[in-house]
Amino acid sequence: MRVRDLLAPGAPRLRLLAAEEELDRQVSGVMTTDLQDPGRYLHGGELVLTGMLWRTVPADSERFVRTLAAGGAVALAAGEAEVGPVPEDLVEACRRHRMPLLAVPDDIAFGTVTEFIGRQVSADRAADLAALVDRHRLLVSAAGGGGLDAVLDLLGGDLDLDCWVLTPTGAVIAGPADRLSAQDRDQLVRAHLAAQRQRRRPPHRVRLAAGSYSLLPAPASAEQDAPQAECALADWVLAVAGDVTEWTTKRQQLAENLARLVAAERHRRDEGRRLRRRLADEVLALLRRDADPAEISRTLYASSAMAARYEIPESKSQAEEGSWLVLSAEGTGLPEGAVRAVLEEALGGITDRALVAGTGIGAVVVLPALEGPVPADTLRELLAPLEAGLGSEGRITLGVSAPASEAGGLRGALEEARHARRIAASRVGRVCVAGPEELASHVLLLAAVPDEVRRAFRSRLLDKVIAYDIEHQADLVRTLEAFLRSDGSWTRCAAQLHVHVNTLRYRIGRIEELTGRDLSRLEDRVDFYLALELA
């Protein structure tokens, strides 16, 4: 078909904005993207559909259109549903590069445009099984995941080919869930993670009681240099019924193209997570600096798009009317960012409202408390399949707080979750989870105390000691911690610090002078211990 066919009677109601002289170009396919640089995915002849989310400044339009022209795209269709009317700078850029520009009104779905083009392409291309998947790429991108089900239903109905898209924890993203038991899904994802950890070449073949399956990864990152361990633990998995190595060449090509389609949909979904990730990082930053609860509450729902999605009235945010859980997680032997990616995927099956902030090798999660509790046992069971991909050195430890009834309680819930994670880290196992019920009573009390009271208590006990350490390059705080851990034993504490007992007595005496407390008294020792716990 030609570009001008998109403007003919019976076609979707698109508006031509630029390059009328180039409408005789042949359209061979469709690609949907909001990447700033989609050049690597262009093969030539595509109509490019975009929601214009890549555009932040006018100069972005020139760079984007130049990339399309260099990649052989024949036309650009810009959707107006997300950011409004097509900006003039994009129109001018298309004129300069002789790129036909079509506006897609907000009431026309990208899937409608894709389906129209699919009906117009040649019968020869429609007969090619590998191209069948490519022709539905936009449907997948536009439907936010529902398009994967449409493609898999098509393959199952027309070709008797059962396929499933699974998360690394065994949840079904797409495919006939009733034809694959939970036990079989668990075995498949464990086999996939083990094969990826051993760097075996896909497809990975698995034989279960229900039959043979072939597993192909759908990488979580489109970057070629992304850490393999991170990708393997957060990959979606394409499970195909049968052994693809025994198929014909064309049918094998179909499976490979389907895996690429799934990876493209995964990448598109991850691009949409950027706003939620920024919001999660901002919430964590506010909690770390003990921000005002009202500011935390506002930030939780700062995005008007998110507020519209969840139908939150402006006068009252959900942060003020619901309860929240905080999860603290850390990875050992894993690349930076891996734990965040893993938890985003794992918790996606429980709620789509979890805010997962990265902390380097770990993550902090804030999510609305569900109707039923999310006990540690549930999370432990949810993450259990990941053990197959962690290896002998890798570990994930996770702590869960009790529900916080309002945004002002999130700081205490974060502290509680961190204490629970330390308990989990002390256990043996590759995936360990601890909940608030396993914490000592004093930790629960501290977490329940208002932030300003905790700060005042700690300041009254330790500020002078900390100031002395800073001014004199001393080590009084560490000495105090060691003394309390040693139950007040002078000899054990001195040995632990590698100092003479007389030096230790001098330091403890200095702490007592600065604070007016007596460390031989149990009450004062308890106060110091609690103050240090609040650090």
On whether residue 128 sits in a domain, the answer given is no
- Report for 261-265, 296-300, 323-327, 503-507: range of highest mean pLDDT: 503-507
On whether residue 127 sits in a domain, the answer given is no
How confident is the model over 65-92, as a mean pLDDT? 90
How many residues make up the chain in this entry?
A: 535
Based on the domain organization, do 69 and 177 belong to the same domain? no
CATH number of the domain to which 518 belongs = 1.10.10.2840
Spatial contact of 18 and 37, defined as CB atoms under 8 Å apart: no
| Helix segments in 72-109, DSSP class H | 88-96
223 pLDDT band (50/70/90 cuts)? very low
Domain of residue 183, residue span: 148-271
On whether residue 290 sits in a domain, the answer given is yes
Based on the domain organization, do 496 and 511 belong to the same domain? yes
CA distance 466 to 318: 39
376 pLDDT band (50/70/90 cuts)? confident
Chain centroid to CA 423: how far? 25
Based on the domain organization, do 154 and 265 belong to the same domain? yes
Note the pLDDT of residue 445: 62
Based on the domain organization, do 232 and 191 belong to the same domain? yes
Q: Which of 241, 271, 301 is a domain's end point?
A: 271
How confident is the model over 116-132, as a mean pLDDT? 55
Percent of the chain with pLDDT over 90: 21
Using alpha carbons, list the distances in angstroms from residue 394 to 9, 227, 233, 265, 397. Answer: 60, 14, 11, 29, 10
Q: Please give, one letter per residue, the 3-state secondary structure of 307-348.
A: HHHHCCCCCCCHHHCCCEEEEEEEEECCCCCHHHHHHHHHHH
Q: Which of 271, 304, 338 is a domain's end point?
A: 271
Spatial contact of 128 and 97, defined as CB atoms under 8 Å apart: no
pLDDT tens-place string over residues 155-205 = 777 667 789 999 888 888 888 888 889 899 999 999 998 888 888 888 899
318 pLDDT band (50/70/90 cuts)? very low
Based on the domain organization, do 479 and 422 belong to the same domain? no
pLDDT tens-place string over residues 21-66 = 989 888 888 889 988 888 888 888 889 999 999 999 999 999 999 9
CA distance 185 to 166: 8
Q: Does residue 2 or residue 272 have the better pLDDT? A: 2
Spatial contact of 102 and 20, defined as CB atoms under 8 Å apart: no
Q: Does residue 143 or residue 466 have the better pLDDT? A: 466
Spatial contact of 103 and 15, defined as CB atoms under 8 Å apart: yes
Based on the domain organization, do 440 and 303 belong to the same domain? yes
Phi/psi for 15 (5° steps) reads: -115, 135
CA distance 136 to 147: 8
On whether residue 143 sits in a domain, the answer given is no
CA distance 75 to 85: 18
Q: What is the strand order of the sheet 355-358 is part of?
A: 355-358, 362-368, 324-332, 395-400, 431-434
Could you give the number of structural domains in the chain? Answer: 4
- Report for 167-176, 220-229, 350-359: range of highest mean pLDDT: 167-176
Note the pLDDT of residue 133: 54
On whether residue 141 sits in a domain, the answer given is no
| Helix segments in 198-273, DSSP class H | 228-234, 249-271
Based on the domain organization, do 104 and 22 belong to the same domain? yes
Based on the domain organization, do 367 and 291 belong to the same domain? yes
CATH number of the domain to which 82 belongs = 3.40.1390.20
CB count in 10 Å sphere of residue 159: 13
How confident is the model over 96-109, as a mean pLDDT? 91
User: Is pLDDT above 60 for 364?
Assistant: yes
**C-alpha atoms less than 13 angstroms from C-alpha of 468 in its C-beta half-sphere:** 19
Facing residues of 404 across strands?
324
Based on the domain organization, do 167 and 296 belong to the same domain? no
User: Is pLDDT above 80 for 307?
Assistant: no
- Determine which of 32-41, 222-231, 523-532 has the lowest per-residue pLDDT on average: 222-231
In sequence order, the 6+-apart residues with CB closer than 8 A to the CB of 253 are 129, 130
How confident is the model over 376-380, as a mean pLDDT? 80
Using alpha carbons, list the distances in angstroms from residue 258 to 32, 50, 165, 265, 421. Answer: 16, 22, 10, 11, 39
On whether residue 360 sits in a domain, the answer given is yes
CA distance 34 to 53: 6
Reference 468, options 476, 460, 478; nearest CA is 476
- Report for 6-20, 223-237, 304-318: range of highest mean pLDDT: 6-20
On whether residue 131 sits in a domain, the answer given is no
User: Is pLDDT above 50 for 122?
Assistant: no
- Characterize the bridge pairing of strands 15-18 and 101-104: antiparallel
Phi-psi category of 111—alpha, beta or left, where left has phi over 0 and alpha has psi -120 to 50? alpha
Based on the domain organization, do 252 and 296 belong to the same domain? no
Instruction: Tell the burial category of 124 from Cβ atoms under 10 Å away from its Cβ (0-12, 13-18, 19+).
Output: exposed
- Determine which of 2-11, 171-180, 285-294, 501-510 has the lowest per-residue pLDDT on average: 285-294
CB count in 10 Å sphere of residue 420: 28
User: Is pLDDT above 80 for 484?
Assistant: yes
CA distance 422 to 244: 45
